[in-house]
Chain A
């Protein structure tokens, strides 16, 4: 029995370090003081509202502890006080959990609302962007179609310059018309316009005033046809993302793409070695073919620019080789056109001009606006 009492005291030593043994009226144990202090804390006050049941349980334990203390059962009073301490902690933690759950529910609602709002805004942005691009293109076509002041015959030097400009404009016009044909193969207005281009090339090669105004008008007509060919797709699917994603993909692959009226353009240089496509060019073309396959809505127009020769002239089979390489990579709709030397990047008489002017353009023709 004495052994049991000693063990009890040892077991309760952590609770009663300050308990003055042997006094007639025992001092209030430290753990009970701790309970009183905890009970007055802000966290417990809040727990009273947010976790009433847990708080009530802690209160009950505290009351039992007080009763035991009043009855002179110090050991029981200390154990019950420690239990009450744990119960108060539970009440405060339960209150924290209640608060967290409530805020979680609020945050979930907010997240849902924001996600829906973002979705709406993205859809609105796509629609607005498509409408705006369409309006801008229409304005551009109208501006191009505005009647220009008629060019009067000029000095021989001026006429020569007009002739060069006319060739470049007719080439641009033809390429726009071909792009329109790739977008809408059956478009009836394109045949006569392409024939008009051939006719103008003949006039530009012949003596006489350069038909610069006719060339400009042809370019406007071809751009209008391309816009009209694109319109059904642009209206049916106002998304602007497909052209952007193609541009981003080509940029990532270091092709340095850019946009023009036709679509997204990649320029390749020095594609041939000893009359054949170089290994490097073949590799690039295969990669471009894969991109074309992944973006099947974009037909591909291959334009070869030489150091001499007129647009539409023979290109020693280069166009056919390029088409074959792109198709081998996975491209399906591909057409090649030779532009001759009609659209030089730098004046042909400048040093190193040939290397810069001889090039190949791989045009991913935009099917929408």
Chain B
């Protein structure tokens, strides 16, 4: 009986430890927002394309801190979540701008290729015509040579 109790206590303790470990491994909204903003700060391009969202995220974090300092934990947490929302929007804006830049470069390359294809097609047509003229000339020379 005692052994069973000990085993229950051990399992319960293990569960508590696991849950607290998980809780520690998932950063809170403030932590996540701060990490995202720090990563975006390293990218000058992100500062350009998402400055408004970044600014709003920073402002929300600041306001959240003021609320927490004043003891309003509930609204502080809500504002931290808002900051995270803005930071994620800024990150997505940066990612989208990168994708759109890549698309623009690819489209420029494709346009250049299309021009090359157009020119190559024209050259092939010219050469086909040149070959036809050469064949005709040869045919005439053959006919002339065949005559007695």
Identify the A interface with B (CB < 8 A).
1, 3-8, 10-12, 14, 75-76, 79-80, 82-83, 86-87, 89-90, 93-94, 96-97, 100-101, 103-104, 107-108, 110-111, 114-115, 117-118, 121-122, 124-125, 128-129, 131-132, 135-136, 138-139, 142-143, 146
Asked whether, in the complex, the Cβ of A111 is within 8 Å of the Cβ of B99, the reply is no
Asked whether, in the complex, the Cβ of B124 is within 8 Å of the Cβ of A104, the reply is no
Q: Which residue of A lies closest to B93 (CB)?
A: A93
At the interface, yes or no: B45 with Cβ under 8 Å from chain A?
Answer: no
Residue-wise, chain B 93-134 has the 8 Å CB interface mask toward A (1 for contact) of: 101100110110011011001101100110110011011001
Residues of A with C-beta under 8 A to B88: 86, 90
Q: Which residue of B lies closest to A87 (CB)?
A: B85
Q: How far is the CA of A133 from the CA of B82 in the complex (A)?
A: 73
Selected A-B contacts with CB under 8 Å, 7 pairs? A7-B66, A93-B93, A97-B95, A121-B124, A128-B127, A128-B131, A143-B141
CB contact between B70 and one of A8, A90, A110, A129 (< 8 Å): that residue: A8
Asked whether, in the complex, the Cβ of B144 is within 8 Å of the Cβ of A93, the reply is no
Residues of B with C-beta under 8 A to A82: 56, 60, 82
Identify the B interface with A (CB < 8 A).
53, 56, 59-60, 63-64, 66-67, 69-72, 74-75, 78-79, 81-82, 85-86, 88-89, 92-93, 95-96, 99-100, 102-103, 106-107, 109-110, 113-114, 116-117, 120-121, 123-124, 127-128, 130-131, 134-135, 137-138, 141-142, 144-145
Summarize B's interface: helix, strand, loop or mixed. Answer: helix
Residues of B with C-beta under 8 A to A89: 53, 89
Q: Which residue of A lies closest to B142 (CB)?
A: A142
Asked whether, in the complex, the Cβ of A86 is within 8 Å of the Cβ of B86, the reply is yes
Q: How far is the CA of A79 from the CA of B29 in the complex (A)?
A: 14
Asked whether, in the complex, the Cβ of B70 is within 8 Å of the Cβ of A79, the reply is no
CB contact between A93 and one of B66, B81, B96, B113 (< 8 Å): that residue: B96
Residues of B with C-beta under 8 A to A90: 85, 88-89, 92
The 9 closest A-B pairs by CB, nearest first: A7-B70, A86-B85, A135-B134, A121-B120, A114-B113, A11-B63, A132-B131, A4-B70, A4-B71
Asked whether, in the complex, the Cβ of B128 is within 8 Å of the Cβ of A118, the reply is no
Asked whether, in the complex, the Cβ of A125 is within 8 Å of the Cβ of B75, the reply is no
Asked whether, in the complex, the Cβ of B138 is within 8 Å of the Cβ of A100, the reply is no
Asked whether, in the complex, the Cβ of A97 is within 8 Å of the Cβ of B99, the reply is yes
Q: How far is the CA of A63 from the CA of B70 in the complex (A)?
A: 28
How many Å from the CB of A132 to the closest CB on chain B? 4
Question: 13 new A-B pairs (CB below 8 Å) besides A1-B71, A79-B75, A136-B137?
Answer: A3-B70, A6-B70, A7-B66, A7-B69, A8-B75, A14-B63, A83-B85, A93-B89, A101-B99, A111-B110, A121-B121, A136-B134, A142-B141
A114-B82 in contact given A97-B99, A122-B120, A135-B131 (Cβ < 8 Å): no
Q: How far is the CA of A104 from the CA of B102 in the complex (A)?
A: 8
Residues of A with C-beta under 8 A to B86: 86
How many Å from the CB of B113 to the closest CB on chain A? 4
Q: How far is the CA of A50 from the CA of B60 in the complex (A)?
A: 28
Residues of B with C-beta under 8 A to A135: 131, 134-135, 137-138
Residues of A with C-beta under 8 A to B131: 128, 131-132, 135
CB contact between B103 and one of A6, A10, A103, A114 (< 8 Å): that residue: A103
A12-B63 in contact given A4-B70, A138-B138 (Cβ < 8 Å): yes
Asked whether, in the complex, the Cβ of B138 is within 8 Å of the Cβ of A142, the reply is yes
Residues of B with C-beta under 8 A to A94: 92
Asked whether, in the complex, the Cβ of A86 is within 8 Å of the Cβ of B79, the reply is no
CB contact between B96 and one of A12, A80, A97, A110 (< 8 Å): that residue: A97
Asked whether, in the complex, the Cβ of B117 is within 8 Å of the Cβ of A97, the reply is no
Q: Which residue of B lies closest to A6 (CB)?
A: B70
Residues of B with C-beta under 8 A to A10: 66
Asked whether, in the complex, the Cβ of A4 is within 8 Å of the Cβ of B72, the reply is yes
Q: How far is the CA of A8 from the CA of B85 in the complex (A)?
A: 20
How many Å from the CB of A64 to the closest CB on chain B? 10
Residues of A with C-beta under 8 A to B124: 121, 124-125, 128
Residues of B with C-beta under 8 A to A75: 75
Q: How far is the CA of A102 from the CA of B54 in the complex (A)?
A: 27
